[in-house]
Structure 1
């Protein structure tokens, strides 16, 4: 049973540029402009009109966009929930300008061991994350630690939780790695790793969408009976001011917005592609978290029930439930 028929999330790529070179991501390899404030103003109004509730200003590294605070202010004035994930290299520089503008602020951390994290990011990021935590806390912010989980680092969850998150009263978000295109992510998760993640998801200040675990047990999305609702739940906007369909990672077709996002999204041409969500050959086996998260939220099925406890837990801790009412 479908609960929500309109898009609820926008993945707004403010730039594809990045100041890190993560081994499990290829976005930093792409040339890219930056979104303009004028385009964003109109797009955000249209997103609100379409029913979108959450805007994820993403990249690349979103803090590379010098007008990011202005973009966030525009979204907040419209009552939209804002979220940013950053490697924290630039956060100390811009923290005061971002204060109060980000509802869900995530600092990426791949290991509780400095050298390991820095190696995965291709630069010295660990100390900046630690510095950024202290700055954010002094400003009254409560960032989350986004920990991308692989088979080889699942054993580090305890150290990340006890040494970094609990002492700073931060939420630890467990983000199971996903495969896409030709990006190498290592071995697939063993049943033991999946069980460990599920157990940790029930602990204090730890968030794991348990539907991610169930989806991996089920072999990902299946085109004959898709769980993915990427096209109808998530609007992807590129730095070139285009809608990307059916999702960023597949990116089969792009449509220039030209200040007409509302009409464009509702057009027959776009809706024909939306109707193919989860059914294209490349969708077989997909488990991309950023599209599955909203997919689990709009349709009552076993994944909806798996996701519900963790969704309630996280929104209660962060207080964002008030904005979703």
Structure 2
């Protein structure tokens, strides 16, 4: 049963540029401009009219955008919840200007070991993440640690949890790795790893959407009966101010927004693409978290029920539920 028919999330790619070269991501290889304040202001207005609640300022590395504070202020002026994930390299320099503007601030950290983390990210950023945690706390921010979980770093969860998140009273977000396009992300998560992740979801200050685990056990999205609702739940905007359909990772088509996102989204062309959500050949087996999370939220099924406890837990800890009403 469909509970929400309108889009609820915008993945706003402020740039594809990145100052890291993570071995499980290819976005840093792409040339890219930066979004403009003028385009963003019109888009925020249209996103609000379309029913979107959350804008994820993403990339690339979003802190590379020099006008990110202004973009965040604009989004919040339209009543939109803001979220930013960063590798931490630029946070010490930008922290003061970002203070109070990010509702959900995530620092990426995949290992409790400096050498291993820096190797995976292709740049020395472990120390700046540690510095960023203390600086953010001193400014009254409540950052989260976002850990991408692979087969090879599953044992790092305990170390990050005990050494970093608990002592700093942070939330540890566990993000199971997903495959996409031709990017090498390592072996699929084993059954034993999924079992272990499910146990971690019950820990204090740990957030893991258990719908992600259930979906992987079911073999991901299936095109004959799709779980993915990427097109109807998530609006993806590129640095070139284009609507990306049906999602960034598949990226079959990009459509210039031309200052009219509201009407473009409701156009016959876009609605036809939305009708194909989860049904393209490339959608078979997909388990991309950033589209499954909103997909689980809008339709009551077993994934909705699996996702519910973790969603309530995170919103209670962070207080973001108050902004949804």
TM-score between both structures, scaled by the size of structure 1: 1.00
1:191 deviates by 1.1
Map of 2:79 onto structure 1: 79
Q: Write the distance in 1 (CA, Å) between the matches of 2:58 and 2:163.
A: 28
Map of 1:239 onto structure 2: 239
1:184 deviates by 0.7
Conservation of the 8 A alpha-carbon contact between 2:4 and 2:299: yes
1:190 deviates by 1.2
Q: Write the distance in 2 (CA, Å) between the matches of 1:167 and 1:275.
A: 47
Map of 1:291 onto structure 2: 291
Q: Does 1:267 align with 2:267?
A: yes
5 Å-filtered alignment, 1:168-247, equals 168-247=168-247
SS of the residue 1:168 aligns to: coil
1:188 deviates by 1.2
1:210 deviates by 0.3
Q: Write the distance in 1 (CA, Å) between the matches of 2:22 and 2:152.
A: 16
Q: Does 1:310 align with 2:310?
A: yes
Map of 1:254 onto structure 2: 254
Q: Write the distance in 2 (CA, Å) between the matches of 1:81 and 1:270.
A: 25
Unaligned 5+ residue runs, structure 1?
none
Structure 1, residues 79-137: CA drift from partner, whole Å, max 9, x if none? 10000000010000000100000000000001010000000011100000000000000
Moved over 2 A (4+): none
Conservation of the 8 A alpha-carbon contact between 2:110 and 2:156: no
SS of the residue 1:204 aligns to: coil
Q: Write the distance in 1 (CA, Å) between the matches of 2:188 and 2:40.
A: 38
Q: How many residues align?
A: 325
Conservation of the 8 A alpha-carbon contact between 2:178 and 2:289: yes
Unaligned 5+ residue runs, structure 2?
none
Q: Write the distance in 2 (CA, Å) between the matches of 1:93 and 1:190.
A: 40
TM-score between both structures, scaled by the size of structure 2: 1.00
Q: Write the distance in 1 (CA, Å) between the matches of 2:161 and 2:149.
A: 13
5 Å-filtered alignment, 1:15-30, equals 15-30=15-30
Map of 2:102 onto structure 1: 102
Map of 1:142 onto structure 2: 142
1:155 deviates by 1.3
Q: Write the distance in 1 (CA, Å) between the matches of 2:227 and 2:269.
A: 22
Q: Write the distance in 2 (CA, Å) between the matches of 1:230 and 1:5.
A: 12
- CA RMSD in angstroms comes to 0.4
Q: Write the distance in 2 (CA, Å) between the matches of 1:189 and 1:14.
A: 31
Q: Does 1:116 align with 2:106?
A: no
Structure 1, residues 234-263: CA drift from partner, whole Å, max 9, x if none? 000000000000000000111100100000
